[in-house]
Structure 1
Amino acid sequence: MRILVLGGTAFLSAEIARQAVASGHQVTCFARGTSTEPPDGVTWVRGDRTVGAAAYEGLGRNWDAVVEVARDPMRAREALEQLAPGAAHWTFVSSCSVYADHSVPGADETAALLEPLPEGQAGTPETYGESKVAIEQLTVSAAGDKAHIVRAGLIGGPGDETDRYGYWPGRCAAGGDTVLVPDIPDDATQIIDVRDLAAWILRGAETRLTGTFNAVGDVVRFEDYFAECTRAAGNLDLDVARATGAWLAEQGVECWAGPDSLPLWLPPDHDGFQARTNLSARDHGMHLRPWQETLAAALEDERRRGLDRERKAGLSREAERRLVALWRDQER
């Protein structure tokens, strides 16, 4: 197959390109490559999508499959206008952030969506979900019965630079001072391994799979996940302080991601955010490795990149020590 990946230099898109090459496909990556390069074995066409439709001149119009990971509806529209007519299959990697309600565990693909980002409005991190909704609608309109919409959940595994899933195994491996943990033993975590997601997307292109699917992992209790972090890190005797969510919020600790956060801890009314059903995707060929393997790979990646590096998500050690002291003091 002749496969075009719009991207191919970062995390998921790079893994898709890597697996496609390994499967014997002819892979072209269309990317700027400002920070990283595509995997070995691909044809790399340098291009800047911000210049508009002209960016696609000379790229070719006939592809067996196109994979799109865009966040900007304007960029997505231009690509669809230029490439969708000649593409036999079109995959758009969307997100479960498109859903309007995150409170219901087990919700499927028929759940209500956010309103799409209005045409002409620039997307921002705060309108990520609305932007993805808009691109979904553009994709269905332009690609029709050739469209495969992949609503990905939190993606983990080697190469993840968001630092969310890897924070906890990395912190357990670092050891040392007391680890501050949100007291959420029964809360759901739901991670899909980047390698499994890429494999399913590639298989979908090969089989011309169409439709809209939640591409999410199986649900794992936070306490089971954290226990596996300590076991994999070889730190079963780690000293842990378990603080309530209300107290953490009072101290300014953020949920989910970003600086001064505790990853995988969710805000109120998000019981379904990491607990959506994946039955439809499984019924259509999505295979998931044991989540413990994903965690082990994430830990290996954390060690390779440095356990004490500055992170995009999680608490700094200084902030953690301060918060642990405050929590212990109020417990007395």
Structure 2
Amino acid sequence: MRLLVLGGTSFLSWRIARVAVGRGHEVVCAARGRSGSVPEGARLVVVDRDRPGAVDVLAGYGFDAVVDVATGALGWVLDALEVLGDRVRHWTFVSSVNAYADTATVGQGTDAPLCAPVLDRRHFELAELTVERYGGTKVASENAVRERVGQDRAFIVRPGVISGPGDQMHRFGYWASRFARGGPVVVPDVTDHPLQHVDVRDLAAWIVTAAERHRTGTFDAVGPVLDFTTVLRDAAALVGAPDLRLVPVAPSALLAAGITPWGGPRSLPFWLPTTMYGLVTHDPAPALAAGLPHRTLTDTLHSALADAPTHPLAAGLTAEDERVLLQ
């Protein structure tokens, strides 16, 4: 199979290219090449999708399948479809659970209401990319893929949290690194708080398999729903720092101290208000039945520890933030 990965130099797209090369496929990665190198055995074609007509260089390659992980740019998706949509037998578009309008209802499936499509073709910079704009752009992109290649060639995947090696959001990375330092650790004092993720290695393998087997349809690419508090306790036990002690702090106290839910600076990663539990409780059964693998939490946590960056984490509390909370 000759596979085009629109991306291929970071995280999920890099992992997809690596899996495909490992299975003996011919892999071309179309990217600017600024985020890193493509996996060994893949070919990089330098393409800046912000430049009109840049994708035209790919027209003569004769790909069997395309994987597009475009974020925040409907124009990127439309340009690729215009050049390649009639030439390939299988098209994967990586969307997001942020495509759903309802963040509160637990147990939703792919038939849940979606955000209103955002039809602006521009590439939104990170500062412009609100949750609504991101989700709406994903919905518009999904629609464009289905309309151009048809339901019989389109594979739409909507991941939630993607964990594993190379995760620059550092959600598992924060907890694994923090537990490794030991001492008293601030955790949210919550019960029945759900958590859902998919490891990048499992998601990438599934996407390549879908291209090989011509799987189509729309799926929430999520793993089983876990209990957040249990995950933290299991992670702490796995890391095993001798003086490690979890210190639950009430959500009201965390919010009053300016601690952010979910992710980013001054946050406790994965912690959510109850009104957003719908984001991490999507029905995993259809994707699991369709072959999406799900590795153990131990494996994901070990990868987070091994992958811990030497520079400041993108999520979590600083030592000073935590000291103030503990006082």
- In the TM superposition, residue 217 of structure 1 has moved relative to its aligned partner by 1.1
**Residue 11 (structure 1) aligned with residue 18 (structure 2):** no
**How do residues 42-191 of structure 1 correspond to structure 2 at under 5 angstroms?**
42-58=42-58, 60-71=60-71, 72-120=73-121, 123=124, 124-126=128-130, 127-144=133-150, 145-176=152-183, 178-191=184-197
Change (3 A) 1:236 1:275: farther
How far apart in 1 are the matches of 2:196 and 2:141? 24
Structure 1 contact 61–83 (Cα < 8 Å) conserved: no
Give aligned pairs, total. 320
Structure 2 contact 180–241 (Cα < 8 Å) conserved: yes
Alignment TM-score, normalising by the size of structure 1: 0.92
- In the TM superposition, residue 170 of structure 1 has moved relative to its aligned partner by 1.3
Structure 1 contact 52–75 (Cα < 8 Å) conserved: no
- Residue type of the partner of 1:153? G
- In the TM superposition, residue 287 of structure 1 has moved relative to its aligned partner by 1.7
- Percent identical: 43
Aligned-residue Cα RMSD (Å) equals 1.5
- In the TM superposition, residue 270 of structure 1 has moved relative to its aligned partner by 1.2
Structure 2 contact 223–288 (Cα < 8 Å) conserved: no
Alignment TM-score, normalising by the size of structure 2: 0.94
- Residue type of the partner of 1:6? L
Runs of 5+ unmatched residues, structure 2: none
SS in structure 1 of the partner of residue 93 of structure 2: strand
- In the TM superposition, residue 35 of structure 1 has moved relative to its aligned partner by 3.1
How far apart in 2 are the matches of 1:318 and 1:8? 37
Of residues 228, 237, 249 in structure 2, which corresponds to 1:231?
237
SS in structure 2 of the partner of residue 181 of structure 1: strand
SS in structure 2 of the partner of residue 266 of structure 1: coil
- Residue type of the partner of 2:80? A
- In the TM superposition, residue 289 of structure 1 has moved relative to its aligned partner by 1.6
**Residue 196 (structure 1) aligned with residue 202 (structure 2):** yes
- Residue type of the partner of 1:187? H
- Residue type of the partner of 2:143? Q
- In the TM superposition, residue 276 of structure 1 has moved relative to its aligned partner by 0.8
Structure 2 contact 96–138 (Cα < 8 Å) conserved: yes
Runs of 5+ unmatched residues, structure 1: 326-332
How far apart in 2 are the matches of 1:200 and 1:138? 23
- In the TM superposition, residue 222 of structure 1 has moved relative to its aligned partner by 1.0
How far apart in 2 are the matches of 1:292 and 1:65? 33
